[in-house]
Amino acid sequence: MKTISPENSRVYDASIIQLPRIFAQKGNITAINNEKEIPFAIKRIYYLYDVPGGESRGGHAHKELMQLIVAASGSFDIVIDDSKIKRTFTLARPDCGLFLPAGLWRELVNFSSGAICLVLASLEYSEGDYIRFYDEFSKFKKQ
Ligand code: TYD
């Protein structure tokens, strides 16, 4: 696995990963294995749901955490920012994930009704891994 240092990660280091889909007329299955379909081992899974219309989530960066974000249901946009450039990804399919390396600011916006944002994360929850103020993030990226 290529490791990208969080201070130097760029929006171009984020990528859409096409996940496998086991197709059947009675419904589909997508399976994700540690370090196989995605470039890290999964330590935590969480999901956002019942997001009210017009609400946004995120508004922070992570110092070490890597994530794969999937729209398990519905759709939403993720705006990422490396302190120089912003990129917007629309997630709208359960077999498509956005890989986010550490050190990128993100905002999740435009949630559709009933959207479920599934997040596979490389680390357990730690408030110390968050950068919650943009000016602190800018300084972090200039190290
Ligand atoms: P946060 O990651 O800031 O939410 P979002 O980026 O989706 O807007 O988390 C919101 C709150 O939930 C915060 O107080 C921490 C808590 N939380 C946990 O306790 N464990 C977790 O795994 C996550 C993701 C959040």
The chain-wide mean pLDDT, for the chain, equals: 96
Do 95 and 102 meet the contact criterion of CB atoms below 8 Å apart? no
Residue 127 is encoded by which pair of tokens?
């408030």
Residue nearest atom 22 in ligand 1 by C-alpha distance: 125
Kindly give the distance from the C-alpha atom of residue 47 to the centroid of ligand 1, in angstroms, as a whole number: 10
Closest CA to 89 of 112, 74, 106: 106
Kindly give the distance from the C-alpha atom of residue 27 to the centroid of ligand 1, in angstroms, as a whole number: 31
Do 141 and 62 meet the contact criterion of CB atoms below 8 Å apart? no
Query: What was the pLDDT predicted at 2?
Result: 63
Residue 77 is encoded by which pair of tokens?
């946009």
- C-beta of 48 in contact with ligand 1 (< 6 A): yes
62 given a catalytic annotation: no
Q: How does pLDDT run across 65-121, given as a tens digit for each residue?
A: 999 999 999 999 999 999 999 999 999 999 999 999 999 999 999 999 999 999 999
- C-beta of 58 in contact with ligand 1 (< 6 A): yes
Q: How does pLDDT run across 10-20, given as a tens digit for each residue?
A: 999 999 999 99
> Which residues are paired to 16 by β-bridges?
98
Higher-confidence position of 30 and 2: 30
- C-beta of 46 in contact with ligand 1 (< 6 A): yes
Is the pLDDT reported for residue 3 higher than 70?
yes
Give dist(CA 8, CA 102) in Å, integer.
9
Q: How does pLDDT run across 120-135, given as a tens digit for each residue?
A: 999 999 999 999 999 9
Q: Which residues contact 73 (CB under 8 A, 6 or more apart)?
A: 94, 114, 115, 116
Is the pLDDT reported for residue 1 higher than 90?
no
- C-beta of 57 in contact with ligand 1 (< 6 A): yes
Give dist(CA 21, CA 68) in Å, integer.
16
Residue 120 half-sphere exposure toward CB, CA atoms < 13 A: 20
pTM value is 0.96
Kindly give the distance from the C-alpha atom of residue 127 to the centroid of ligand 1, in angstroms, as a whole number: 8
